Amino acid sequence: MRDYYTLKINLPAGIVSPGTLQHVLAAARMAHVRKVRFGSRQQLLMTVHYEDLRALEKELKKQPIFYEINSDQYPNIISSYCGEDVFRTGAWLRESEYHTVLDQFDYEPTLKINLSDSNQSFTPFFTGNLNFIASPEPHFWFLYVRPKQSNRVFRWPDLIYTNDLGRLARTVETALLENRFDTDEMLYQSVSSQNRFITQPATQEIELPDFSLPYYEGFNRYGERSWLGLYRRDELFSVDFLLDICTLCLKTRIGEMCVTPWKSLIIKGIEEKDRAAWSHILGKHNINVRHAANELAWQTEDHSDEGMQLKNYVIRYFEKYDMRTFGLCFGVQTRPKSEVFGSVLVRKRPVLQIGQLALFSLYDLYYTENFNPNSRTYVSFEKGLFKAFLPNQIDRLCRQFSNRRALENGKTGRLEAEPTETTSQPVGFVHQCPHCLTIYDPQFGDERRGILPGVPFSQLPANYLCSTCDAPKSALHEIPMSFTNFV
């Protein structure tokens, strides 16, 4: 008999009332649970000893609170509600619309369902099987269907009305689980023929914003109130700490708490007069709320100590070399078929395995198309890396991303100068790295590599490497570049 069990409680759309959470945590504490986690699909997770499990189940059934033990048959409905009001949001999707949709789910979905505002980049768009995204048309939603165990995404031909979203989701789920469809059109025709839904044609693809992960920790003002973001480096939240938070929420009339896909907690609506009470709780439990932004931009698998250890190993390298990772987020995958969200993906690959035991492993490094974590297309960057070499290769990839962004957005404003006459000189040639787009120009040399100005590319040593990403000399391509003299 195993000693410990994993108990999961879904928090639909990442929303939980302080009263409900207080009841759950009180029951968990009676079952000798001292720390809990939040999952990447906005669930509450806890590890329970088998001797205490029966008593905990009895308490949860009194509420009643739906839970699973060592199972994920019913993935949680996740949403961007946690960022509503505090981060960039759309024109019409508000608190009431989220609750209207949630009220329609009178069943436990077995497919992953995502509800997203199209104007935010805090929560993922396409990690679900049914991905509903708010359209520019008020109260209508895009639907992108991703069959289980697939990266293929199909856009539903119609926009779905808010009040029909839950019913359509159930119909599509039933059709997908009970039938096999050779084409996406067959699925659409099957669902449309069974029921009548309020829809309108989806005439264009959704336009999603560029990814930029907002800083989601600490006290932050919005309007006349504040919100508080709570992140734990080990992903573990003390039950006593959370119970104190629930009590203060109830005392100060805060009706909801939000769990994020980054395994953190956001509490909105904190009034200025209550800030001191919140600070007191943070101090009482010794909670730090100002971690570096590059530490917050990681997602690991649920209950993965190995993933967290690898994350912390790379973060120490980031801190040592003061690396810039703005605009990127990172995922660590240590188990096959698991799913994490990230524009850069570290995937563990066992080389020698006996049964379930991996005796020797390497790491593969990928990035998403255009470094957008909502892309379902991964591009291989390096494979077969030892752990010791992984941080340096991630550094290379980060520099490649920064250089690409600088070239795409490299227009800089400057004061208008007096007009000058120019004379064009013959076109010259330079060499450019195809990976990070760094240019070697003989006119300037390469100070970082100790190459003086005036040294032609052909005279560079055979072991010369790109000064940005360490690509070999043979990888650099010759490109033309015109020079202009000002007179």
- Is 182 found in the same domain as 228? no
- Is 333 found in the same domain as 323? yes
- Is 195 found in the same domain as 125? yes
Tell me, yes or no, whether 26 lies in a domain.
no
**Residues forming a β-bridge with 134:** 141
Tell me, yes or no, whether 21 lies in a domain.
no
pLDDT at 149: 74
Question: How far is the C-alpha of 113 from the C-alpha of 107, rounded, in Å?
Answer: 13
Number of independent structural domains in the chain: 4
pLDDT at 449: 82
Tell me, yes or no, whether 27 lies in a domain.
no
Q: pLDDT per residue over 17-40, tens digit each? A: 999 999 999 999 999 999 999 999
Burial of 455 (0-12, 13-18, 19+ CB in 10 A): middle
pLDDT at 31: 96
Tell me, yes or no, whether 208 lies in a domain.
no
- Is 427 found in the same domain as 402? no
Helix (H) / strand (E) element for 308: namely helix 305-320
Domain residues for 190? 88-201
- Is 309 found in the same domain as 392? yes
Q: 86-90, 426-430, 483-487: lowest mean pLDDT where?
A: 483-487
Percentage of the chain with pLDDT > 70?
91
Q: pLDDT per residue over 290-301, tens digit each? A: 899 999 999 999
Burial of 114 (0-12, 13-18, 19+ CB in 10 A): buried
Secondary structure letter of residue 102 according to DSSP: H
Q: pLDDT per residue over 446-462, tens digit each? A: 877 888 888 998 899 98
Where does a domain end: 292, 318, 347? 292
pLDDT band at 477 (very low <50, low <70, confident <90, very high): confident
Supply 81's token pair: 């509600």
Question: How far is the C-alpha of 366 from the C-alpha of 314, rounded, in Å?
Answer: 15
- Is 453 found in the same domain as 390? no
Does residue 401 sit in helix, strand or coil?
helix
**Residues forming a β-bridge with 258:** 15, 266
**For the chain, how many residues are written?**
487
CATH number at residue 107: 3.30.413
Question: How far is the C-alpha of 163 from the C-alpha of 144, rounded, in Å?
Answer: 18
Is 208 in contact with 189 (CB distance < 8 Å)? no
| Residue 91 Cα distances to 73, 134, 137, 185, 411, angstroms | 35, 10, 10, 31, 30
Q: pLDDT per residue over 94-133, tens digit each? A: 999 999 999 999 999 999 999 999 999 999 999 999 999 9
- Is 391 found in the same domain as 468? no
| Residue 27 Cα distances to 3, 238, 243, angstroms | 19, 14, 11
- Is 135 found in the same domain as 173? yes
Tell me, yes or no, whether 230 lies in a domain.
yes
Where does a domain end: 382, 408, 434? 408
CATH number at residue 240: 3.90.480.10
| Residue 231 Cα distances to 259, 265, 368, 380, angstroms | 10, 7, 26, 31
Angle separating helix axes 18-30 and 50-62, nearest 10 degrees: 150
The mean pLDDT value of the chain amounts to 89
Tell me, yes or no, whether 95 lies in a domain.
yes
- The whole-model pTM stands at 0.81
Where does a domain end: 408, 436, 451? 408
Query: At which residue do the structure tokens 């520099």 appear?
Result: 399
Tell me, yes or no, whether 44 lies in a domain.
no
Supply 348's token pair: 């563990």
pLDDT at 239: 98
Question: How far is the C-alpha of 220 from the C-alpha of 211, rounded, in Å?
Answer: 21
Q: pLDDT per residue over 346-382, tens digit each? A: 999 888 767 666 678 899 999 999 999 998 889 999 9
Percentage of the chain with pLDDT > 90?
67
Question: How far is the C-alpha of 60 from the C-alpha of 52, rounded, in Å?
Answer: 13
Burial of 147 (0-12, 13-18, 19+ CB in 10 A): middle
Tell me, yes or no, whether 53 lies in a domain.
no
Question: How far is the C-alpha of 176 from the C-alpha of 111, rounded, in Å?
Answer: 9
pLDDT at 481: 58
- Is 374 found in the same domain as 342? yes
- Is 188 found in the same domain as 93? yes
Secondary structure letter of residue 444 according to DSSP: T
Within 8 A by CB and 6+ apart from 197, the residues are 158, 160, 161, 164, 167, 168
CA atoms within 13 A on the CB side of 385: 19
**Taking Cα atoms as reference points, which of 36, 40, 76 lies closest to residue 56?**
36
How large is the average pLDDT for residues 225-230? 96
Is residue 422's pLDDT more than 60? no
- Is 351 found in the same domain as 331? yes
- Is 287 found in the same domain as 312? no
CATH number at residue 430: 2.20.28.10
Question: How far is the C-alpha of 333 from the C-alpha of 87, rounded, in Å?
Answer: 28
